[in-house]
Chains A and B, each alone.
Chain A
Amino acid sequence: MLFKKLTIVLLILFSGFQSKLYSEENMEKITKININDISINFPILKKLYESGFFSNDKYSINFPGSSNESESPDGIFLESEIRNYNNKDHVFFKLIPGTGNHNFMFTWNIPKKDAEDDLLNGSFNDILKLSIHAREKDINEIVFNNLASGDIQSAEPVYDDPENGEVTGYNIKIKSRPSQTHKFFRTLGELFIVNSFGVINYWINKDENMEDWEYKLTWEGVRRKITDGWSLDTNAFRTNTIYHIYAGNIYFQTGRSNEYGFLASCAWAFTGSLIWEYIGEFREQVSTNDMIFTTMGGALVGESLRQTSIFIEQNVDNKIIRYLFMTLIDPMRIINRTIDKCFYDDIDVNIIFVNPAISMIQQSDNQQYFTGLTVNW
């Protein structure tokens, strides 16, 4: 009877959940985007379209010469142009959200050589999302809300007159970072890599470690390892207090350098320790003291060294010495920062408010898409 009732409740809950999903799916609108590459030799937006960047179920794309129907006046206008900036070729982008709130635009630029990679790495998607929201809501509200949620790093208002002027736009910084899921798997992957170095060292010193072996590499061994639980080990004092804490420190720093907070990074130190104890040292019984010291000793030393690394970064002028010490003290921060630098760049985006009256005139004059709209880049 109880089982029957429970099944009914679950069915109701499931159908509710499904209908919610269904309705949310239906609510997602297809956004029309008019794209235009002014520099014919570098049609980056067209290339992006052809690469399938604009998924068909989200966007409907028009561009000059496309087989699609002609320009959608109620869609987003997006334009690219190659210009020389600081003696280097940059791709300048201009985006007008279109219908509703078309009295402002987004402009930004990225070096030509990085353009394709940068566009694909997510920041472009963030700007598109921002502009889609801007079609329905007040742009100020969007800026404030995105600041509050941390999706944009900073927003500097621009005034026409610094003292008593009106706000004419914002300079915002769009975070270009791996997604939360990406960071999770990167952290986990790095923990496995770090532990694999430990495993290599463990097998190099196999003869010494064999003394502690209790389990065979069989299913029976796995079963015994799990059912035997944890116990205090008999390793050397230095191994228990220094080496394990150093390993925990690296696990913790892996979490920290992937932008996790202190407590979440403690959890990563615990995860790293679990990986080591259950996989790295599979043939030994899990050590209670190692789990405690690696996790908490590692976290405390890790946070201390992380702060020391920041202190050095702020106070040591010599670049070589600075990086040398930072790498020694907090290697994971340097590694992940280098990875991020290679693959992700923050993008400075200008949001420019356009006088609505001028905007209307220029829009109506704008025969070929929206190139008639004058912008001071």
Chain B
Amino acid sequence: MRKIFLLLLCCLFFNVISEKFADSQELIKKNTENGDSRQKITAVLNLLKEILESNDWYVNIESGKLIAFCFRNNCTELTVGIDHNSGKNIHNYTVTVVTDRLYEKVITIKDEFADDSMYVRNKIIPYVLQKINASCCSSSNNKKIYFGSISAGYNRTHDNCRFYPEYSEGSFYMSGSLAYDPAANVTARSITLKPADYFFSSFSFTIDSTIRENSFNVNLLIYGKNKFESAQNQTRRTLYGFFNGFEYFRPGFNDPVLKWNRQIYKKQPHVQFGLYRAIQGTIINTSQSETGVFTNYLSLAVGPGINSSLTATGITEEEEDELSHIFKSIKYRKQNYYYSAAAAANAGFIADRIHNFRFGADYNFYFFIPVEGEKAYDLMNILKISAGYYLTQNTLFAVNYEFWHIDSMLKDDRVNHSWNRLIIELKYLL
């Protein structure tokens, strides 16, 4: 009896052991399979990454998922995830493609082909390509990547040193702006931006026959980061990086009727400049909530410039020859300028769509020193404030006020001047 009991116990023991062994074998097999399938999935994702990158997509593979962004015309965000599980004689690869909507497909591979990584890849990639093509080619998925505006208005320049307007001369003008910002649609936490992935440009010119003033400004990203956060009903985006920029400003003095000896403009500062912002750091923060859209920005730059100076105006042709050697255009009368090393700063904020209102403030600072050894500088401060009301979804009526201050120095002579400007404009957002 005791022997039988022992025998039964032994049988039970061996049974348990063999089951455990079988289980562990199964587990090892499963782990090996999982390891193999993980390798196959990684290979598929890497190949997809190569394909997408060669077609100008930005691709990251994070925790087994491929996340990509396309900055071309049909800006699309794409996520590809592949999961694996095995059943009896089959392997299921669940492919999830998220573009404008979610696509999911279980691709079943028979056991006999499961080890053939090329076979697995050939089954999965066509499906992903099909979904990407379907999504990218659909015009309904086009995201807004250009943000533009055109404005027309009337500005009244008050050529005196007081803050409030006095003795005015005005002109009608047109202006416009265009920003190329495909990253505005990106919802990934952080992506790296490459040259020309963001730019902002603006221009303005007077349409008055007597006053000709024109300006343009281009800021282009060379390398930067776009960060995005989302919490409850609020989103926050930060774009920062290394930019390049070029700014040109020329007030209306080139027209014969607006030369410096004209009565009304004799005191107007000679403030023309062209500035290449070779090294420019910029940060732009935007947060959006039910209350409105709030943007603040800061930009600091240095680079070569070409600019005029208050110290070279209001002089006769005879006196012009006695000017400092830094002033270059002696033979082109009344266009005196010097080549400079410049520093510029720009900071501001905009509170937009607050019950159809828009408020903004902007401060610009420029500092020029001649590159050809002379004790001289030119310094300019421009403060702008604006308030506007949206007449329609895309039409803004705004009133702006600008205060300009210039301080120029050459050797021991120091001149400064300030004036202000009132602007009424109608802006249409494209």
A interface with B by C-beta (< 8 Å): 138, 140-141, 144, 147-150, 154-157, 159, 167, 170, 211, 232-238, 240-242, 245, 261-263, 289, 292-293, 296-297, 299-301, 303-304, 307-308, 310-311, 314-315
Residues of A within 8 A of B306 (CB): 237, 240-241, 289, 293
Contact across chains for B122 and A138 when beta carbons are under 8 A apart: yes
Say yes or no: is B388 at the interface (Cβ < 8 Å to chain A).
no
Given A237-B308, A238-B254, A289-B306, decide whether A296 and B199 contact each other with a Cβ distance below 8 A. no
Residues of B within 8 A of A140 (CB): 118, 121-122, 125-126
Assembly CA distance A299 to B196 (angstroms): 10
B268 interface contact, C-beta 8 A: no
B248 proximity list for chain A (CB < 8 A): 241-242, 245
List 9 tightest A-B contacts by C-beta distance, closest first: A157-B126, A241-B274, A148-B50, A140-B122, A304-B201, A262-B196, A262-B195, A300-B218, A150-B54
Q: What's the minimum C-beta distance from A236 to chain B, rounded to whole angstroms?
A: 5
Which of B304, B331, B430 is in CB contact (< 8 Å) with A234? B331
* Listed residue (A144, A240, A241, A289) with the most chain B CB atoms within 10 angstroms of its CB: A241
How far, in angstroms, from A92 to B368 measured CA to CA in the complex?
A: 67
Whether the Cβ atoms of B329 and A304 lie closer than 8 Å is no
Identify the stretch in B87-95, B127-135, B420-428 within 8 Å (CB) of chain A at 4 or more residues.
B127-135
Query: B230-256: contact bitstring with A at CB < 8 Å (1 yes, 0 no)?
Result: 000000000000001110101000100
Partner-contacting stretch, out of B332-340, B346-354, B375-383, B390-398: B332-340
Chain B contacts for A289, CB-based, 8 A: 304, 306, 339
Given A147-B54, A148-B47, are A154 and B220 also a contact pair (CB < 8 Å)? Answer: no
CA distance A11 to B387 in the complex (A): 76
Instruction: Give min CB distance, A255 to chain B, whole Å.
Output: 12
A residues in contact with B337, CB < 8 Å: 237
Q: Could you show 14 A-B contacts with beta carbons less than 8 Å apart?
A: A140-B121, A140-B125, A140-B126, A141-B122, A147-B54, A167-B123, A233-B328, A235-B329, A237-B329, A237-B337, A262-B196, A296-B246, A311-B178, A315-B430
Let me know if B133 and A144 touch, CB within 8 A: no
Q: Is B55 an interface residue when CB atoms closer than 8 A count as contact?
A: yes
Chain B contact residues, CB within 8 Å of chain A: 47, 50-51, 53-55, 73, 118, 121-123, 125-127, 129-130, 133, 146, 148, 178, 180, 195-196, 199, 201, 216, 218, 220, 244-246, 248, 250, 254, 272, 274, 276, 278, 304, 306, 308, 328-332, 335, 337, 339, 371-372, 430
Instruction: Please report the C-alpha to C-alpha distance between residue A235 and residue B331 in the assembled complex, in whole angstroms.
Output: 9
Q: Which of A150, A237, A300 contacts B220 (CB 8 A)?
A: A300
Given A155-B129, A237-B306, A289-B339, verify A307-B180 contact (CB < 8 Å).
yes
Taking the closest CB of chain A, its distance from the CB of B322, in whole angstroms, is: 16
Using A140-B125, A263-B195 as known contacts, say yes or no to A300 and B244 having CB atoms under 8 A apart. yes
Q: Point out the residues of chain A lying under 8 angstroms from B201, CB to CB.
A: 304, 308
* Apart from A234-B328, A303-B196: 10 A-B pairs, beta carbons within 8 A: A140-B122, A147-B54, A156-B130, A233-B328, A237-B250, A261-B195, A296-B244, A301-B216, A304-B218, A314-B73
A230 to chain B, nearest CB (A): 12
Q: Which residues of B contact A299 (CB under 8 A)?
A: 244
* Chain A residues in 8 Å Cβ range of B278: 296
Q: Which of B51, B130, B199, B371 contacts A148 (CB 8 A)?
A: B51
Q: How far is the CA of A241 from the CA of B306 in the complex (A)?
A: 8
- Given A167-B126, A237-B329, A289-B339: A308 touches B244 (CB 8 Å cut-off): no
- With a cutoff of 8 Å between Cβ atoms, the chain A residues found around residue B125 in the complex are 140, 144
Measured CB to CB, the nearest residue on chain A to B176 is A308
Known contacts A293-B276, A297-B246, A303-B220; A157/B130 CB under 8 A: yes
- Contact among B47, B178, B276 for A297, CB-based, below 8 A: B276
Contact partner of A307 (CB less than 8 A), chosen from B47, B178, B371, B430, is B178
Nearest Cβ on chain B to A36's Cβ, whole angstroms: 31
Shortest Cβ gap from A190 to chain B (Å): 21
Chain B nearest Cβ from A239, distance in angstroms: 9
C-alpha gap A308/B179 in the complex (Å): 9
Least CB separation from A308: chain B residue: B178
A307 touches B122 (CB 8 A): no
Alpha-carbon gap, A141 to B126, bound state (A): 11
- In the assembly, what is the distance between CA of A23 and CA of B158, in Å? 80
- Which residues in A have their C-beta under 8 angstroms from that of B304? 289, 292
Cα separation A156 to B378 with both chains bound (whole Å):
61
Contact at B126–A236, with CB atoms within 8 Å?
no
Bound-state CA distance A231–B245 (Å) is 23
User: Which A residue's beta carbon lies closest to that of B142?
Assistant: A314
Given A155-B129, A157-B126, A289-B306, residue A236 in contact with residue B55 (CB < 8 A):
no
A203 to B278, CA, bound (A): 33
Contact A138 B118 (CB under 8 A): yes
Which residue of the partner chain, among B123, B199, B332, B339, contacts A304 with CB atoms under 8 Å?
B199
User: Which of chain A's residues have a CB closer than 8 A to the CB of B339?
Assistant: 232, 289
Q: How many whole Å from B127's CB to the nearest CB in chain A?
A: 7
Distance from B217 Cβ to chain A, minimum over Cβ atoms (Å): 10
Could you say which of B121, B127, B218, B254 contacts A301, with CB atoms under 8 Å apart?
Answer: B218
A149 touches B54 (CB 8 A): yes
Min CB gap B22→A, angstroms:
35
Residues of B within 8 A of A233 (CB): 328
Residues of A within 8 A of B328 (CB): 232-234
Q: Of A138, A147, A157, A159, which is within 8 A of B55 by CB? A: A147
Query: Which interface residue of A140, A144, A232, A311 has the most chain B CB atoms within 10 A?
Result: A144
A52-B337 Cα distance, complex, nearest whole Å: 64
| Docked pose: A148 CA to B48 CA in angstroms | 8
Whole-angstrom CA separation of A299 from B148 in the bound complex: 20
When distances are taken between beta carbons in the complex, the residues of chain A under 8 Å from B148 are 311
Contact of A245 among B180, B246, B308 (CB under 8 A): B246
B244 with A150: CB separation less than 8 A: no
CB distance from B105 to the nearest CB of A (A): 8
Bound CA–CA A149/B220 (angstroms): 28
* Complex: chain A residue closest to B328, CB-CB: A234
Q: How far is the CB of A69 from chain B (nearest CB, A)?
A: 36
Could you tell me if A141 and B199 are in contact, using CB atoms closer than 8 angstroms?
no
Given contacts A155-B129, A296-B276, contact A236 B246 (CB under 8 A): no
Q: Kindly report which residue of chain A lies nearest to residue B50, judged by CB atoms.
A: A148
> Contact at A311–B329, with CB atoms within 8 Å?
no
For B326, the closest partner residue in chain A by CB is: A232
Write the nearest CB–CB distance from A174 to chain B, whole angstroms: 15
Nearest A residue to B126 via CB reads A157
Q: In whole angstroms, what is the CA distance A301 to B248 when docked? A: 11
Q: How far is the CB of B41 from chain A (nearest CB, A)?
A: 16
Residue in B73, B118, B126 whose Cβ sees the most chain A Cβ within 10 Å: B126
Chain A residue at minimum C-beta to C-beta distance from B56? A150
CB distance from B249 to the nearest CB of A (A): 10
Given A140-B122, A245-B246: A303 and B199 within 8 A (CB)? yes
In the bound complex, CA of A159 to CA of B129 (Å):
12
Smallest Cβ-Cβ distance to B200: which chain A residue:
A304
